[in-house]
Amino acid sequence: MNLTHPFLDADGDKLREECGIFGVIGIQEAAALTALGLHALQHRGQEAVGIVSYDGHEFYTRKGLGHVAQVFSNQQIFAELPGTMASGHVRYSTTGGSGMRNIQPLFADLAAGGFSIAHNGNISNAMHLRNELVRKGAIFQSTSDTEVIIHLVATSRFPKLLDRFVDALRLVEGAYSLICMTPKRMVACRDPLGIRPLVMGRLGDAIVFASETVALDVTGAEFIRQVEPGELVEVTPDGTITCHRPFGEPAARPCIFEHVYFSRPDSIFDNKSVYAVRKEIGAQLAIESPVEADLVVPVPDSGVPAALGFAQQSGIPFELGIIRSHYVGRTFIQPSDGDRTSGVKRKHNANRALVEGKRIVLIDDSIVRGTTSLQIVQMMREAGASEVHMRIASPPTQHSCFYGVDTPERSKLLAAQMDVEAMRQFIHADSLAFVSIDGLYRAVGAEGRNNARPQYCDACFSGEYPTPLTDLVEREAKAAQLSFPVNKVA
Ligand code: AMP
């Protein structure tokens, strides 16, 4: 997250981040393998990519805006990133601005040597920490929350780097899965609640870390296990692995939205198949909100597994009533609603011959602003569907995420503004239903949500944030102070 405004960077550009990270130690051409791993994580970040490598003497960096295949477009590039240790990062933000200085991994020369850091997540007290550091004389190079960790490591009073790192993390609130490199080791860690994912694998003698298991599959690495919430795994060039639990073993709160939308369906998240969970959410929806219809139609690609589950549970045939063009980027990242609307049209087209005269159940994973649902329902009607029912494979998204999933400010979330009936009218559907929060928890294998001790972070649905949101609280307090005289005059 950038630190000048929740949605604007210093240049006034929109900058909301979602990320994927990958690292490997103990293999020739580590940077090329990292590019391959990042390619498998491209869905987590499509705007910028960076790789840092280390060859036993020096660190080397290459970063650029664009997809992995564009920035690392030929084999010669890897000659400039030599070494047996490398880590990389893909970032997803909205449009605008060069943003080059925020591309990760970030790198700094500390007193103890080089230090690189790749971060997936979002630090919810980064602004607070940054202000304190700046007051003490720190000079920041980027507007990224991640840079705060570098400064905290640099200024810690502990002599050993690992202790300095833990010392820094103790001050940090929010979500972080990190892959760091120093001349002597790679360190991977997850925040104490394990909000964002991180897994560990083995490729011959090399150890690999990645945001999702799909990156292990693609690079040929064997899945060992997930990095546990609050765990810090240290790997030295000779392959020695040391695990630390500096934060004890608090109850984990992994992000349930990884299951709903964010992770690839062929990944294993929190030791469960994302695909199987999504299908089961669809089955739960069919049980909770059945409807008489002729066809179950997924909104591609995000609604496909849930639609299969809905179809299998209800006995209504699954059909591809919407065909997706694979040559259009994600519509969600278009800056204005107008752009997003035409983006949806370019991306999806009705399979008219199939849907004409049919009662359709449309399935998508979520409604955020409502742009996609509105367009798709209309598209089905224009193609001659006699009824259009919408079923959503998550509860209403009523709250913003402060932990690294891109959601707009609350005022733009349809479900924060309207109840389900008003949303139904807004998207012009014949009926609209969302899976219940307990239905979602059943799909991940629980009996339901444990309201006293929720098993996941579901803040986007429940509004219950599992960590303090210091920056938000301070920002709101400041806004309240600033608006006081105005209110008084008014
Ligand atoms: P909207 O059109 O604004 O209602 O957004 C809903 C669509 O965006 C759904 O089809 C989702 O698959 C997709 N979506 C939901 N959350 C996100 C996210 N955080 N980033 C990108 N796409 C998303």
Q: Ligand 1: which of 42, 366, 392 to mutate, judged by most atoms within 8 Å of the beta carbon?
A: 366
For residue 107, being part of any structural domain is answered with yes
For residue 479, being part of any structural domain is answered with no
For residue 483, being part of any structural domain is answered with no
Same domain for 239 and 371, yes or no, is no
For residue 266, being part of any structural domain is answered with no
Q: What is the mean pLDDT of residues 262-274?
A: 97
Tell whether the model's pLDDT for residue 15 goes beyond 50: no
> The domain containing residue 369 runs over which residues?
273-326+340-462
Q: What is the pLDDT at residue 431?
A: 98
Query: How confident is residue 481, by pLDDT bands cut at 50, 70 and 90?
Result: confident
Interatomic CA distance for residues 123 and 129, integer angstroms:
10
Interatomic CA distance for residues 348 and 402, integer angstroms:
30
Same domain for 31 and 94, yes or no, is yes
Q: What percent of the chain shows pLDDT beyond 70?
A: 90
Same domain for 163 and 299, yes or no, is no
71 in helix, strand or coil? helix
Q: What are 390-432's pLDDT values in tens digits?
A: 999 999 999 999 999 988 889 999 999 999 999 999 999 999 9
Tell whether the model's pLDDT for residue 13 goes beyond 50: no
Interatomic CA distance for residues 71 and 48, integer angstroms:
8
Q: Is 390 in the pocket of ligand 1 (CB under 6 A)?
A: no
Query: How confident is residue 484, by pLDDT bands cut at 50, 70 and 90?
Result: low
Q: Ligand 1: which of 94, 255, 261 to mutate, judged by most atoms within 8 Å of the beta carbon?
A: 261
**Residue 12 burial (C-beta neighbours within 10 Å; 0-12, 13-18, 19+):** exposed
Same domain for 285 and 156, yes or no, is no
Report the number of distinct structural domains present in the chain: 2
CA of 267 to the centre of ligand 1 (A): 19
Tell whether the model's pLDDT for residue 206 goes beyond 70: yes
Q: What is the pLDDT at residue 408?
A: 82
Same domain for 365 and 229, yes or no, is no
Same domain for 234 and 308, yes or no, is no
Q: What is the mean pLDDT of residues 203-221?
A: 98
User: pTM for the full model?
Assistant: 0.92
Comparing C-alpha atoms, which of 303, 6, 45, 263 is closest to residue 126? 6
What is the CATH classification number for the domain harbouring 212?
3.60.20.10
Q: CA 236, 241, 246, 247: dihedral to nearest 10 degrees?
A: 120
Q: What residues are labeled active site?
A: 19
Comparing C-alpha atoms, which of 347, 423, 420, 359 is closest to residue 387? 359
Same domain for 213 and 280, yes or no, is no
For residue 473, being part of any structural domain is answered with no
Same domain for 71 and 182, yes or no, is yes
Same domain for 365 and 445, yes or no, is yes
For residue 2, being part of any structural domain is answered with no
For residue 482, being part of any structural domain is answered with no
Q: Where is pLDDT greater, at 326 or 229?
A: 229
Same domain for 295 and 415, yes or no, is yes
Interatomic CA distance for residues 174 and 149, integer angstroms:
12
Q: Is 314 in the pocket of ligand 1 (CB under 6 A)?
A: no
How long is the chain? 490
For residue 486, being part of any structural domain is answered with no
Q: What are 126-161's pLDDT values in tens digits?
A: 999 999 999 999 999 999 999 999 999 999 999 999
